[in-house]
Structure 1
Amino acid sequence: MTAVNVIYRRDGPSASKIVYSMTFTGESETDPIIYTIDNLVVVKLKSSAKLLRNKMNFSVSFSSSKHDSAKEKNIKINVNCLDLKYSELNIEVPNDWSKWQEMGLTQPYVRNGLYYTTVSIVVTAYECKKETVLSKLYTDSVFTDFHLVTSEGSVPVHKACLAAHSDVFKAMLTNEWKEAINGEIRMKGATVKTLQQLKEYMYLGTVPEDGLRPLLLIARCYLIEDLEKHCIRKLAENATGETLFSLLEFACDNNIPELSYAMLVITQEAVVNEAKDIKTAVLNSQKSKQSHQ
């Protein structure tokens, strides 16, 4: 038997907070719960209980659609849940239901044979009526006053935008550091592609699907915390059997415990098993070659 309660309240002029409670007796899945935000977006939430590595885990997923009165509008949402370590910005809301997006896993409490937990999810819905100031500045080449430089080339930016996203950049640009004097910072080991992705995040709020590892290193180096969280979550979510071990090595080599933890929480058991099989096959192949030498 499953019981799910959703308490919906306004948490400000644009943000809505959902307190989502789940109770399970064993492995199962709830029916979706539907609610409306500001007559702009309709959101569905569902949860499931599954046994992973001998522990019961609850997963929470969401899907979104435009409200009937907002079908002709350009609507976006931000979804944040600290309990699930999930944060996604600038999500385009379709006219029809989007694909289910799993937000993450949480381990429940146990009482009287029942598994239960509660998570808080903040959804912000907004209408994009016109091009934002930052998106206009993204294409500006007249008023840029600083450069991110690598051996491949450079990417023009605005000092104000750098300072707004990073206290490290802010300190660098407000003091007599050589970077402030020269009007550029040399970012060793970075590619122009990575620097362009950094600029896209700062101006457009987008996070790429590839090239996340070098972008994560830059985010950690310059204390761009939101970008760091997005990179970690995407890397963990996109881990496959072929990349799992190299990703763990990357986390250890660069002292990123948050990434290792995210992989423990998010990575599906099937991916872990696939990685083990690949690792075993590689080791067996190496042993076989050595025995024939």
Structure 2
Amino acid sequence: MIIYRYSVADIEREREKRMSESAYRVETTSRLAQWRIENLASCTYRKSDPFKIGKWNWHLSVEKNRILSIKLYPEVSNITRENPPIASFIIRVISSVGDRKCLVHPEVTDKQLKNNDDFVWAIEVPLTGKFIIDVEFLDLKTSSPNGAEPCSIWSEGLTQRQSTGTALSSLGRMLSERIHTDIVINASDGSIPAHRAVLASRSPVFRSMFSHDLKEKEMSAVNISDMSIEACQAFLSYLYGNIENEQFLTHRLPLLRAADKYDISDLKEACHESLLEDIDTRNVLERLQNASLYQLPKLKTSCMRYLVKFSKIYDIRDDFNAFIQCADRELIAEIFNDVLATWKGF
């Protein structure tokens, strides 16, 4: 039997090693990066470990002389040299003690970043103690090789790529030109002719409707009264394979409800993945509620992490107070358990 013996000094060295490693680690979610600075008193310069947002690895650095300078830049690589990111972002410095004082740089829009001098934020306000550098990426674009307008990497969605090819184009024409339609979809404020065979092939719920002696089979109509005509058109466009990305993004939540109701797993997963990409303070509570309602574990985890790990719960106190008055009790308990666990570990 091997007996391991550790001294207090060994344990303290291991603790200091881990703290030193964490001092350079940047925590990230889909479009948000946070670097926690514990103490700059012992050094005048610090550079973070690389962290990935979009296609690129990034670095943050801080330099303290008479003023504090913060830099954000992509890591040097072939992809950076050949196609440097064109970034839109908001960067903040948040005091993590006391009243959580926050300094916000004016929004940066469509700035090409190639090296560590392309974005420098000089802060003259003295900062002491612990603080957080918070970078929220609003968009990342790449230059088009043919000289066209730069294209957002987040608009190149799976849904648009799935809507290609001759067969899908033909299905789309069947819907848009109403070729041999044999059923009507009644939305809350209008109707759209469609095809039983297409609906039945895409949804087991529709297949069951049309295979049994239900009113939908007899009346040749399906009532979807909880969707607007625009959302219903987006729903049918997805089923026929010709949905546009902007149409999909506009109607993600009603599409999610329809996917769950009619058991269309690929649409549900497409909505799930898309909703992960742009969580922010304006939508995080609604998305958390939907993640809980429709059992979307990755979205739920990301929303909880955004609120608790990244401390965004403090930025939406009034909305959160209203949210906890009507949200599911189990969900509220999970949030408070995460808050308590984070406080203990900080």
Normalization by structure 1: what TM-score? 0.51
Tell me which of the two structures has the higher relative contact order, counting C-alpha pairs closer than 8 angstroms and 6 or more residues apart: 1
**Aligned partner letter, 1:241:** T
Which protein is richer in helix relative to its size?
Answer: 2
Q: For residue 40 of structure 2, what is the aligned residue in structure 1?
A: none
Deviations 1:151-208 (A, max 9, x none): 4222211112112211221222223222122111112422222211101112204352
Secondary structure of 1:226's partner? Answer: helix
Q: 1:45 to 1:184 in 2, by over 3 A?
A: farther
Tell me how far apart the structure 2 counterparts of residues 98 and 134 of structure 1 sit (CA, whole Å): 28
Q: Give ranges in structure 2 of 5+ residues lacking alignment.
A: 1-47, 51-57, 59-74, 86-131, 133-139, 322-346
- Partner residue of 2:244 out of 186, 195, 206: 206
**Aligned partner letter, 2:180:** F
The correspondence of residues 139-150 of structure 1 with structure 2, limited to 5 A, is 139-150=176-187
Q: For residue 232 of structure 1, what is the aligned residue in structure 2?
A: 272
Tell me how far apart the structure 1 counterparts of residues 200 and 296 of structure 2 sit (CA, whole Å): 24
Larger displacement relative to structure 2 (170-179 or 160-169) = 170-179
Residue 167 (str. 1) matches residue 204 (str. 2): yes
**Aligned partner letter, 1:240:** D
Which protein is richer in strand relative to its size?
Answer: 1
Q: Identity, % of aligned pairs?
A: 22
Tell me how far apart the structure 1 counterparts of residues 162 and 235 of structure 2 sit (CA, whole Å): 25
**Aligned partner letter, 2:172:** S
Q: How many residues align?
A: 192
Q: 1:145 to 1:227 in 2, by over 3 A?
A: same
Secondary structure of 1:209's partner? Answer: helix
**Does structure 1 conserve the Cα–Cα contact (< 8 Å) formed by 2:163 and 2:243?**
no
Aligned-pair distance for 1:211?
A: 2.7
Aligned-pair distance for 1:99?
A: 3.5
Q: For residue 20 of structure 1, what is the aligned residue in structure 2?
A: none
Q: 1:44 to 1:226 in 2, by over 3 A?
A: farther
Deviations 1:73-122 (A, max 9, x none): xxxxxxxxxxxxxxxxxxxxx9687434499xxxxxxxxxxxxxxxxxxx
Residue 220 (str. 1) matches residue 257 (str. 2): no
**Aligned partner letter, 1:163:** A
Q: 1:263 to 1:225 in 2, by over 3 A?
A: farther
Q: For residue 107 of structure 1, what is the aligned residue in structure 2?
A: none
Q: 1:250 to 1:127 in 2, by over 3 A?
A: closer
Q: For residue 11 of structure 1, what is the aligned residue in structure 2?
A: none
- Partner residue of 2:172 out of 122, 135, 148: 135
Q: 1:186 to 1:131 in 2, by over 3 A?
A: closer
Tell me how far apart the structure 2 counterparts of residues 183 and 164 of structure 1 sit (CA, whole Å): 17
Q: 1:44 to 1:164 in 2, by over 3 A?
A: farther
Aligned-pair distance for 1:219?
A: 0.5
The correspondence of residues 88-99 of structure 1 with structure 2, limited to 5 A, is 98-99=151-152
Q: For residue 299 of structure 2, what is the aligned residue in structure 1?
A: 259
**Does structure 1 conserve the Cα–Cα contact (< 8 Å) formed by 2:272 and 2:296?**
no
Tell me how far apart the structure 2 counterparts of residues 125 and 165 of structure 1 sit (CA, whole Å): 14
Larger displacement relative to structure 2 (206-215 or 130-139) = 130-139
Q: For residue 178 of structure 1, what is the aligned residue in structure 2?
A: 215
Q: Give ranges in structure 1 of 5+ residues lacking alignment.
A: 1-24, 35-42, 47-52, 54-60, 72-93, 104-123, 284-293
Aligned-pair distance for 1:282?
A: 7.0
**Does structure 2 conserve the Cα–Cα contact (< 8 Å) formed by 1:245 and 1:275?**
no
Q: For residue 31 of structure 1, what is the aligned residue in structure 2?
A: 77
**Does structure 1 conserve the Cα–Cα contact (< 8 Å) formed by 2:285 and 2:320?**
no
The correspondence of residues 34-53 of structure 1 with structure 2, limited to 5 A, is none
**Does structure 2 conserve the Cα–Cα contact (< 8 Å) formed by 1:240 and 1:275?**
no
**Aligned partner letter, 1:160:** A
Aligned-pair distance for 1:145?
A: 0.8
Q: For residue 192 of structure 2, what is the aligned residue in structure 1?
A: 155
**Does structure 2 conserve the Cα–Cα contact (< 8 Å) formed by 1:44 and 1:62?**
no
**Does structure 2 conserve the Cα–Cα contact (< 8 Å) formed by 1:32 and 1:45?**
no
